[in-house]
Chains A and B, each alone.
Chain A
Amino acid sequence: MTQRLSREELPRLYAAIAQVADLFLPVKRAGKTNFALWNTQTEVDLDTLKTAKSPKDLFFPQCEPLYTCDWREGNLTVTAQALAERDFVVFGVRGCDLRGLDVLDRVFLSDPVDSFYAARREHGTVIAFACREPEESCFCRTFGVDCAEPGGDVTVWLTDGTLYWRANTPKGQALTDRLDLLGKTDDADEQRLAAEQTAAREIIDRLPYANLFLDGWNGDATEARFASPLWEKLYRPCLACGACTFACPTCQCYDIRDYDTGNGVQRFRCWDSCMYSDFTMMAHGNNRTSQMQRFRQRFMHKLVYFPANNDGMYSCVGCGRCVEQCPSGLNIVKVIKAFEKEAKK
């Protein structure tokens, strides 16, 4: 059942949700919009299509403690970090980023389950936000995402004056039941909503990267793609920074390190990047010594290795953040297009 709320009442909606759980949503700070905890002072920004960082760090934080090791009277004790216990709501997750969570689920919820991630997934309710005005860097349709019907525990659509709200899961319904400011919709609302969706999908049709050529990218393509001479040409401008991996909603590589706490250490995990030169460095060598190899690894992982291990699912969701953020103008679209050109020669 779809419900509605006047756009002016959004602050009341945020306050009502915040009564129930911690609310995270796109907030503009120092000129950039990222997901952050809501309070009455925050500058909520629903106009920016894509947050600079994806919302993945609400479930897989850039840095999180795992456990502490303490020396007490000569004995070592290991104390695991407590798992997330507070319920939270993430409002405003785009369809692509929601798919990104599906990809992360494949990694962290597969055997053996990552309990830190699992606890956050369990306590988090995701309110997906349909796109109204997709942008040039978007290519979610290539990966089968419908940005006008993104799913999630709850889906919301925002038109000029109205927010439409629909619970999709028991978790979403439970949240909805605790909010009393949502109103009923009528036929006119349904028609307006359908028209909005049609309009958004029509824009998607006209996006330059809406339908990228994925032929030849699949779990069986390792041999054919790995040895391609194209990688040598493609990687050259790469600066070996981690901007693409940290912006990406599906990149999940991590490092485990520690901080000295005085009488022991705190072991924490933090995002890592396959683009970094020390990523695979061992005491006796490194199996990926060139930036070409590291660059190739990233795209092979997204388009070949991940599908090989996950029933054909790609670990790219077409959010286009790499298109916007790579300092050297590199991105997965270029890689896909280069191989397309080669295939159609």
Chain B
Amino acid sequence: MQELIERAKALLADGTVSRVLGWRATDTPFGPEPAFFESGEELNEFVYNCFCGANLSKYLIESSALEGKTLAFLKPCDTYSFNQLCKEHRIDRGKTYIIGVGCKGKITVERLHELGIKGILDVEDAGDTLTVKTLYGEKSCPYSDAMLERCHACKGKEHRVADEVIGESADTTDTDRFAKVTELEQMTSKERYAFFQAELSKCIRCNACRNVCPVCNCRKCVFDGNAFDSVQKANATEFEEKMFHIIRAFHVAGRCTDCGECSRVCPQGIPLHLLNRKLIKDMDAFYGEYQAGEDTSTVSPLTAYTEHDIEPEAGKGGNE
């Protein structure tokens, strides 16, 4: 971490960049927050640890409008979102300086809670295991048990874009990314409906998923306003909640990098990424494998037309 701080200080000092986007240590040991740093002194609060799951790419949209370059620390998977936003002309690559940071999977305190570890005072990262100091004694668990869902379907240790890379990364994949989607596909439509019904009925329409999503960056969202009944705040009917999430999933289809931020931030623990993954899986099947954000030039299958494109009817079907 010290190396990151020193490098950032040097780039600030020699005028290469005007500000630094990273994570700031806070009073909560497991709650670093995304932050902009504008001086060497401020950088003393910089932190990079196993809790730095937040994808910082989206903050570069606002900093693209500022004077000078912004240095951003991106994990391998964050670089996909970054590329996607460059491709959509929402980030000006020329106003960024990217340092790829090493990542071996990120964890959340929420996972620890789910494992039954409560009253957490401190978490020590001892490589493969976590030692957790709690009000109720010391606990430990395998590192991977506390990892974010997305880390179990890691995109690999390569940064897709970086001006330089500091630190080692590891591919933390230990499950089939589409396993849950396949399981849902094999359900009867009734079972599948029940699954999504149970999950989406928890939605409180807080918009955290939308606001954190890198590719949900419309200047004015259709759900903010009075244009139609399904406005941002009402969760009046079951239909409302599904409509919001389904429309959102369709809107980001072909652009979603599967960064998993939607599921990470949902205060009700809804596995929203499953909607996106289903669309990704179908697109892969229909048009060949495609990973949004892998580079800044490949055209998304949904915006490219080819003579051999699958006919609309082909997508119909499923069980029942």
Contacts and interface: CB of A to CB of B under 8 A. Distances in A.
Q: A contacts B directly in the complex (CB < 8 Å)? A: yes
Nearest to B231: A257
Nearest to A208: B121
Contacts of B207: 241-242, 276
Given A32-B268, A241-B207, A337-B27, A63 B121 contact: no
Contacts of A240: 211
B269 interface: yes
Interface stretch (A66-74, A88-96, A265-273): A265-273
Interface of B: 26-28, 31-36, 54, 109-110, 114, 118-121, 134-136, 198-199, 201-202, 204-208, 210-212, 224-226, 229, 231-236, 264-265, 267-270
A206 B34 CA distance: 28
Given A270-B234, A327-B264, A328-B54, A62 B204 contact: yes
Contacts of B206: 241-243, 245-247, 273
A136 B265 contact: no
Contact of A63 (B211, B234, B265): B234
Contacts of A58: none
Given A134-B135, A243-B206, A329-B31, 14 more contacts: A52-B202, A53-B204, A208-B28, A239-B211, A240-B211, A246-B204, A247-B267, A259-B236, A270-B235, A271-B233, A327-B54, A328-B54, A329-B33, A333-B28
A324 interface: yes
A243 B198 contact: no
B202 A30 contact: yes
A32 to B, nearest CB: 5
A243 B267 CA distance: 7
The 6 closest A-B pairs by CB, nearest first: A327-B265, A241-B208, A329-B31, A325-B267, A239-B211, A30-B198
17 contacts: A29-B201, A30-B199, A30-B201, A32-B268, A32-B269, A52-B269, A63-B235, A135-B120, A203-B135, A239-B208, A241-B207, A246-B267, A255-B233, A257-B226, A270-B235, A329-B28, A333-B28
A229 interface: no
A276 B233 CA distance: 10
A329 to B, nearest CB: 4
A37 interface: no
With a 10 A CB-CB cut-off, give which of A62, A63, A237 has the most chain B CB atoms: A237
B197 to A, nearest CB: 9
- A-side binding surface: helix, strand, loop or mixed? loop
Given A237-B34, A325-B267, A29 B202 contact: yes
Interface string A47-81: 00100110000000011000000000000000000
Contacts of B233: 242, 255, 257, 270-273, 276
A327 B208 contact: yes
A29 B35 CA distance: 35
A195 B31 CA distance: 34
Given A327-B264, A330-B33, A334-B26, A276 B232 contact: yes
Contacts of A271: 233
Interface residues of A, number: 50
A135 B54 contact: no
A247 B206 CA distance: 9
B135 A136 contact: yes
Interface in A294-345: 323-325, 327-330, 333-334, 337
Contacts of B114: 31
Given A257-B231, A278-B225, A329-B33, A324 B110 contact: yes
Given A278-B225, A325-B267, A134 B211 contact: no
B231 to A, nearest CB: 6
B234 A241 contact: no
A30 B268 CA distance: 9
A325 B110 CA distance: 9
Interface in A115-143: 133-136
B119 A270 contact: no
Contact of A268 (B33, B121, B199, B236): B236
A259 B135 contact: no
B27 A237 contact: no
Interface in A1-53: 29-32, 34, 49, 52-53
A277 interface: yes
A285 B184 CA distance: 47
